[in-house]
């Protein structure tokens, strides 16, 4: 009788544990989807892959917009106060503001480290001074684990920028291809202004 009660208790415990583990995984996937639109919009704006930004957010805060590290980094992309200020983040706990500031910082690191994924990630995690001090990726276990964690889902050794090509027809009917969003939107505005004046 005692063995039966123990087995029944263990079975109930096991079912509850499996339920909550599965629920946690579903909740995390739902949380990721909440920010997908913001991530994709900002990724397109800065010509970066959304998958890289998502991988960084997962490693930094596990998609918790209210996350605060023991060192004082805050929000989804774990921005330090001085970094947030430098990149124009007014509210580090606002997902859009935080992601945009983090991506601006990431973009600067991409340029600084010639798109080399490991160096960019190391600098994002440990800071640029650590890279300078060690002449490369610092030997910190946290930083090395961080790089491995992100590289498990982002395999590229160099960070690719997506170049968007805009197509329009000028006033003489010639097709124009450009990577300048400014020229494209200037043309669209000119067409709109012409329609409005008619």
Q: Of 186 and 93, which is predicted with more confidence?
A: 93
Q: How far is CA 48 from the centre of its chain?
A: 9
Average pLDDT over residues 45-60: 94
So where are the chain's domains?
2-151, 166-197
pLDDT band at 1 (very low <50, low <70, confident <90, very high): low
Residues assigned a catalytic role: 60
State mean pLDDT over 158-179.
83
Determine contact, residues 88/28, Cβ cutoff 8 Å.
Answer: no
Q: Do 63 and 28 contact (CB within 8 A), yes or no? A: yes
Residue 40: pLDDT above 50? yes
Q: Which CATH class is domain 2-151?
A: mainly alpha
Spell out the residues 6+ positions from residue 95 whose beta carbon is closer than 8 angstroms to its own: 35, 38, 65, 75, 76
At residue 162 the predicted structure's pLDDT band, cuts being 50, 70 and 90, is low
For residue 90, pLDDT beyond 60: yes
* This model's pTM is above 0.75: no
Q: Is there a contact between 29 and 63 (Cβ–Cβ < 8 Å)?
A: no
């Amino acid at each position: 009788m005692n063995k039966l009660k123990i087995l029944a208790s263990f079975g109930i415990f096991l079912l509850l544990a499996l339920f909550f583990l599965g629920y946690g995984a579903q909740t995390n996937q739902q949380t990721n989807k909440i920010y997908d639109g913001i991530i994709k919009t900002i990724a397109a704006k800065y010509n970066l892959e959304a998958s890289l930004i998502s991988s960084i957010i997962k490693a930094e805060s596990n998609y918790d917009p209210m996350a605060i590290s023991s060192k004082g980094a805050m929000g989804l992309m774990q921005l330090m106060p001085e970094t947030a200020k430098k990149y124009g983040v007014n509210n580090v706990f606002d997902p859009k503001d935080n992601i945009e500031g983090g991506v601006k910082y990431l973009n600067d690191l991409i340029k600084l480290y010639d798109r080399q994924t490991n160096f960019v990630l190391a600098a994002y995690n440990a800071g640029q001074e650590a890279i300078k001090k060690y002449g490369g990726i610092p030997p910190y276990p946290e930083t090395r684990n961080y790089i491995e964690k992100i590289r498990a889902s982002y395999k590229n050794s160099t960070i690719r920028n997506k170049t968007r090509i805009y197509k329009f027809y000028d006033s003489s009917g010639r097709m124009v291809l450009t990577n300048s969003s400014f020229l494209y939107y200037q043309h669209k505005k000119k067409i709109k202004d012409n329609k409005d004046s008619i």
